[in-house]
Structure 1
Amino acid sequence: MQVTVKEINKNLESLPKELFEQVNDYIDFLKSKYGKIHSEDWAGNLSDHQIESVKRGLEDIEKEKTLNHDTARKRIQDYISSKK
């Protein structure tokens, strides 16, 4: 089954507005991934939100405010379990 623009629009209309930026970032990612946006440097295709996220991540690394994979995974699992 092929998804239509109408179906995508219907899904978008039912999303909470706070997810719109994430959806838009993902659409930009897909366009970039499949060659719809032509740029020599993929970083030139990042949204302002994505750039700020990268900057915050770099600051966290500099301040040694990072977690190893196992710890992060456990925290995420604990968080999801607490929401059930």
Structure 2
Amino acid sequence: MQITVKEINKNLESLPKELFEQVNDYIDFLKSKYGKVHSEDWAENLFDHQIESVKQGLEDVKKGRTLNHDTAINRIQDYINSKK
């Protein structure tokens, strides 16, 4: 059976809206993986939201908004424990 765009659209319409971003990210991944445009430099294939995340991270480093590894691990563990 061959899937049509109409069937995909129907499936998308039945999804909760909070899943749209994940679906869109997966579509972007598939386009990148199987698309005709391939580059030697993986950074040339980043999506806009990924580029913005990298820029934000660089800005955080410049402004000293960083944690050492042990502190980060402890905060993550504390967060996980608070959700149990």
Fold agreement, TM-score > 0.5: yes
Q: Does 1:62 align with 2:62?
A: yes
**Does structure 2 conserve the Cα–Cα contact (< 8 Å) formed by 1:25 and 1:47?**
no
The residue type paired with residue 65 of structure 1 is: R
Partner of 1:45: 45
C-alpha RMSD over aligned residues: 2.9
Which region of structure 1 is more displaced relative to structure 2, 51-60 or 15-24?
15-24
- Report the Cα offset of residue 53 of structure 1: 0.6
The residue type paired with residue 39 of structure 1 is: S
**Structure-2 change in CA distance of 1:70 and 1:56 (3 Å):** same
**Structure-2 change in CA distance of 1:20 and 1:45 (3 Å):** farther
- Report the Cα offset of residue 41 of structure 1: 1.4
Alignment gaps of 5+ in structure 2: 1-14
Partner of 2:75: 75
How many residue pairs match? The answer is: 73
Alignment gaps of 5+ in structure 1: 1-14
Instruction: Could you list the structure 1 runs, at least 4 aligned residues long, displaced by more than 2 angstroms after superposition.
Output: 15-32
What percent identity do the matched residue pairs reach? 81
- Report the Cα offset of residue 40 of structure 1: 2.1
Partner of 2:4: none
Q: Which has the larger radius of gyration?
A: 2
Q: Deviations over 1:27-62 (max 9, x none)?
A: 756886xx7461021111111111111000000000
The residue type paired with residue 76 of structure 1 is: I
